[in-house]
Amino acid sequence: MKIEDDIRNAVEVLRKGGIILYPTDTVWGIGCDATNAEAVKRVYEIKRRDDSKAMICLVDSSNRIQRYVRNVPEVAWDIFDLATKPTTIILDGATGLAPNLIAEDGSIALRVTQEEFSKQLCYRFQKALVSTSANISGEPAAQNYRDISEEILNAVDYVCWARRQEHKPHTPSSIIKLSPAGEVKIIRE
């Protein structure tokens, strides 16, 4: 399948409130429209995860961050621009996202993907995309397509074709929490 067709199919499912499996700049992810509370609820159910545990969202560019965070600390732009590996930033003042995706303290975890497929997917979808590891909560993250359990594969509405043959190590992103004043706290290196 051509990448364009794969992305078109995934976006169509996302726009209908569906759940997809897709390769990201880190591990394989379960994704949905980050503004759709019902879709987000389904992702929590698929992962068997408590909805008090926030999930990461992917966007295609740092410009899109401003759509989902009221006041982005200046240092966030530097981190997004200078990061040498996938880096997720937890920012306060989340807005415009599904309420069940926003942490109890009002924050949201966002990452600008640089990987070709997920970047194009986010760009074509034109919204933030939930990106949580394709596994049941507490189990190892699916580094490659072949690591995804049958249970997860059967629970989603569309499985992307891109990078299914790939077999190489992938690791989750670094996670940094920024306070509104720009104080940096490293959550995961």
The structure tokens listed for 73 are 């600390």
Distance CA 151, CA 96 (A): 31
Q: Which domain holds residue 31?
A: 3-180
CATH number, residue 33:
3.90.870.10
More confident site: 50 or 154? 154
Q: What is the pLDDT of residues 72-103, one digit of tens each?
A: 999 999 998 889 999 999 999 999 999 999 99
Q: Is residue 186 part of a domain?
A: no
Count how many domains the chain has.
1
Nearest to 43 by CA among 127, 124, 152, 150: 152
Q: 189 in a domain, yes or no?
A: no
Residue 29 bridge partners (DSSP): 22, 133
117-144 pLDDT tens trace: 999 999 999 999 999 999 999 999 999 9
- pLDDT for 51 equals 77
pLDDT digits (tens, 9 = 90+) for 54-66: 899 999 999 999 9
The verdict on residue 188 lying in a domain is: no
Report yes or no on 30 lying in a domain: yes
pLDDT of residue 182: 82
User: Which pLDDT does position 181 carry in this prediction?
Assistant: 86
Residue 185 lies inside a defined structural domain of this protein: no
